[in-house]
Structure 1
Amino acid sequence: MTARPAAAAAPAAAESPRGKAAAEAYAVLRAMILEGELAPDERITIDAVSRRLEISQTPVREALQRLEGDNLVVSSPGRGYSTTPLLGLEELRALFEFRLLVEPWAARSAAVDRLANPGRALRAELDALEESVGADGDLRQLLVAHDTRFHGLILEAAGNPVVRHAFEQTHCHLHTFRLYPADIGGDRTAEEHAEIAAAIWACDGAGAEAAMSRHIFNSFDRFARAYTNDGGLAALERSSRPRMRVAR
């Protein structure tokens, strides 16, 4: 497997050979987890990874510690590192209820603050996704990166670092994209993102809030299909949908 670019490391670490090796190990392992090559709750042997990547065990350990911070791996006495289990349906519902508390508010806040309005940056992000889809690369990785940046721009523009940090700690983009959503091509996600971006750019606070709320409900339905046998929503109980309602 070809290593994919990792998130930016600290400048000092990135300049050292060990730092580069750790970044490579992180990128490869992260891709393997998101793509299902490393199954949920599968043990990860440091020695095997070290031999596969032809690097020492120290940068592999550093990469695993970083992935543990992402909640993609967990360490336990006697077993070492293993991938985390997939979210259960109730855990997924709880995560999306949290998103409904935070993100529609963030979209409204970003839209009404004209100086910090991220509409232009959101449009540029959507254009970049469209260009990337036609190029070589793993679509799942592209969608995870896009989703993270898109929602991050809105949360940053909302101007509340406490809320933004709490949201980032959920690592929702990494966990939900392991569920193989029905919209694996990303078309519906991009359309919904475009509606949010347009409302924010127009400084339409109510419209941005409503568009974000719809997007989160639709996203939940798409990801929840991973728990049905026939790939549809018929088997889901009505109570399994997020119960939070955004005030109008």
Structure 2
Amino acid sequence: MARSLPRDDAYRAIRDAIVDGTLAPGERLNDADLARWLGVSRTPVREALTRLDEAGLVRTKPGRYTIVSPLDVRAVRAAQSVTSAMHELAVREALPNLSATELDAMRAANARFAAALRADDVDAAIAADDEFHGVAVTACANTAVRSVLDQFTPQLRRLERLRFSSLSGRGSVAQHDRIIALCAAGDVEGAVAATRANWQTLTPLLEGE
């Protein structure tokens, strides 16, 4: 199996720390400190920060500072629109060939998602939600969809932590069940519409910002 590169490991570690709040909005980031924390050289850290800047998770003023980006409602709205469209496309392209095994994987992920919400385990809820939607993303075998989602999904993660920390996140379990039922029935348009509705549940949080 191919080993991941240090820059990719650094990117994921810093990204996850931003998403889960370990690195707070507005916090200054020092590449030497991050390199010591991650146990890598400064080069992969700098490469990771450049990628995070492109994803909108950090802001960099060359030669001056790098900070964790504040939650930018306009940027999150844009990321939500793009992410929703990509998941709709994934369902549309995957559904005609979605197997019983893949439908079972969606059901299992949704069961884990529901259990995580009941346990108030936000990290597990987000991971299970990723697994649920990831079934269609993998099944559609569209590398462009995967690439766009990898870039824009992290913008939504901080907002999703708020959603899944509240009772409003519980409604996603039923929405997931509906998506599964429509996929099992071969209803492409219905499944796409249900997927869109699921991603639109973030809208009230954006309006509240």
TM-score above 0.5: yes
**Alignment-derived partner of residue 177 in structure 1:** 157
What is the aligned residue count? 202
Does the CA-based 8 Å contact 2:122-2:164 persist in structure 1?
no
Note closer, same or farther for the CA distance 1:10–1:139 as it changes in structure 2 (3 Å cut).
Answer: farther
For structure 1, list consecutive stretches of 5 or more residues without a partner in the other structure. Answer: 1-8, 14-18, 228-248
- The 3 A distance-change label for structure 1 pair 42 and 61 is farther
Determine which of 114, 127, 130 is the counterpart of 1:145: 127
Query: Cα deviation per residue 1:162-221 (whole Å; 9 max; x = unaligned)?
Result: 233233322x2x222213534424422233222212322332223211211211222222
Bigger helix fraction: 2
Closer/same/farther in 2, CA of residues 26 and 154 from structure 1, 3 Å limit:
closer
SS in 2 for 1:38: coil
Tell whether 2:58 aligns with 1:76.
no
Where 1:82 maps in the other structure, the secondary structure is strand
2:24 aligned with 1:39, yes or no? Answer: yes
Q: Which residue of 2 aligns with 1:108?
A: 92
CA RMSD of aligned residues (A): 3.5
Q: Given residue 94 of structure 1, which amino acid in structure 2 is its aligned partner?
A: A
8 A Cα contact 1:32 1:38, kept in partner = yes
Q: Could you tell me how far apart the structure 2 residues matched to 1:204 and 1:10 are?
A: 38
**Larger Rg over CA atoms:** 1
Aligned counterpart, 1:11: 3
Counterpart Cα distance in 2 of 1:200 and 1:11: 35
Shift of 1:116: 8.7
User: Using the alignment, how far apart are the partners of 1:46 and 1:25 within structure 2?
Assistant: 12
Change (3 A) 1:154 1:61: same
For residues 112 and 76 of structure 2, the distance between their equivalents in structure 1, rounded to whole angstroms, comes to 29
What is the SS of the residue equivalent to 1:43? coil
Change (3 A) 1:187 1:205: same
Q: Which residues of 2 match residues 1-248 of structure 1 at below 5 A?
A: 11=3, 23=9, 27=13, 29-49=14-34, 53=37, 58=41, 62-63=44-45, 65-66=47-48, 68-70=50-52, 71=55, 72-88=57-73, 90-115=74-99, 118-130=102-114, 139-170=121-152, 172=153, 174-179=154-159, 180-185=161-166, 186-221=169-204, 223-227=205-209
Percent of residue pairs identical: 26
Determine the C-alpha separation between the residues in 2 that align with 1:193 and 1:56.
39
TM-score (normalizing by structure 2): 0.73
CA contact 1:111–1:199 (8 Å) conserved in 2: no
Amino acid at match of 1:191: A
